[in-house]
Amino acid sequence: MILSIGFRTLLYKEVLRFVKVAGQTITAPVLTAVLYLLVFGHALEAHVQAYPGVSYTAFLIPGLVMMSVLQNAFANTSSSLIQSKMNGSMVFLLLSPISYWETYWAYLLAAIVRGVTVGVGVFAVTVWFAPLSYVAPWWIALFGVLGAAILGTMGLIAGLWAEKYDHLATFQNFLIMPATFLSGVFYTIRSLPETWQAVSHANPFFYLVDGFRYGFYGQSDVAPLLSLAVGGAFFLLLACLAVWMLKKGYKLRH
């Protein structure tokens, strides 16, 4: 039963964990996104126009919002699990009467809450820098939640796999960060050579950013339905892997 007291308690604990240090988990990422906007927007505003009729700053804002959603959703689940492993509190989760499905959804929903909260914060601060359009707000909400769900699940997988902080840093620095920065946050892939366009299409994060930006301007590098299909398939694949790892107690029961 997904609304059991074990599920509600774990969800509450995971949300409270990042809310208690909001300066670090919410305010800091918002400030980082604003700095990106100030630097890149100032440097490239007069030189780059990604979409017809859309200024570079206006193009950049949705990308920064989505980047913040992705990175913070990943950070929530991955940091929680590795901390629980390192300080020995994981044993309390293993002994509690909560199923692996409930565990997965509690961690996932908390990651979505944090990712979306940071994304809304970034949007609220950066929206004043350039006029934005809202052609398809439902696409904005859908891709925002889907992106947070995918990275929350990836964070769960990384947290289960990692045995120490160095392992988690490796996962983040060599997979999450490159995939995020090379997803079209700062540019449209149509500006790249054909070889690199093909490489970008192999990056699932690209479809999340592209679909999210479509909701604002009705323009994208690929069709939003294709982005949704790729993102949905990627989420299902990751979710199956994460649930299997939880069911097996992967690197938890030793």
Can you give the pLDDT at residue 254? Answer: 58
Query: Is 7 or 194 the better-scoring residue by pLDDT?
Result: 7
- Is the pTM here over 0.85, yes or no? yes
Can you give the pLDDT at residue 19? Answer: 94
Can you give the pLDDT at residue 231? Answer: 96
What are the two backbone dihedrals, phi and then psi, of residue 51, each rounded to the nearest 5 degrees? -120, 150
Count CB atoms within 10 A of the CB of residue 193: 8
What are the two backbone dihedrals, phi and then psi, of residue 52, each rounded to the nearest 5 degrees? -60, 130
Q: What is d(CA 184, CA 142) in angstroms, rounded to the nearest whole number?
A: 18
**Arithmetic mean of pLDDT, 8-19:** 94
Taking the mean position of all CA atoms in its chain, how far away is CA 58?
Answer: 21
Three-state DSSP class for residue 98: coil
**Smallest Cα–Cα separation from 74: which of 142, 151, 173?**
151
Q: What is d(CA 107, CA 115) in angstroms, rounded to the nearest whole number?
A: 12
Every domain of the chain and the residues it spans: 5-248
**Arithmetic mean of pLDDT, 118-134:** 93
Q: How far is CA 142 from CA 138, 148, 163, 214, 228, in A?
A: 6, 10, 33, 11, 9
pLDDT at 36 over 50: yes
Q: What is d(CA 4, CA 237) in angstroms, rounded to the nearest whole number?
A: 26
pLDDT at 210 over 70: yes
In DSSP terms, 51 is beta-bridged to 54
| pLDDT, averaged across the chain | 91
Which residues, including other chains, have CB under 8 Å from residue 173's CB and lie 6 or more apart? Answer: none
pLDDT tier at 123 (50, 70, 90 boundaries)? Answer: very high
Give me the percent of the chain exceeding a pLDDT of 70: 97
Count CB atoms within 10 A of the CB of residue 180: 23
Rg (CA), the chain: 18
Can you give the pLDDT at residue 90? Answer: 83
User: For 206, which DSSP code?
Assistant: H
Residue pair 69/147 in contact by the 8 Å Cβ criterion: yes
Place of tokens 């929350």: 152
User: For 191, which DSSP code?
Assistant: G
**Helix intervals (H) in 22-136:** 22, 28-44, 56-87, 90-95, 100-126
| pLDDT per position as a tens digit, 42-86 | 777 766 677 778 888 999 999 999 999 999 999 999 999 999 988
| pLDDT per position as a tens digit, 88-120 | 888 888 888 888 999 999 999 999 999 999 999
**Smallest Cα–Cα separation from 36: which of 5, 14, 68?**
68
State the maximum Cα–Cα separation within the chain, in Å, rounded to a whole number. Answer: 59
Q: Which two tokens stand for residue 119?
A: 């994304």
| pLDDT per position as a tens digit, 188-202 | 888 778 888 888 889
Dihedral-angle region of residue 12 (phi above 0 means left; psi in -120 to 50 means alpha; beta otherwise): alpha
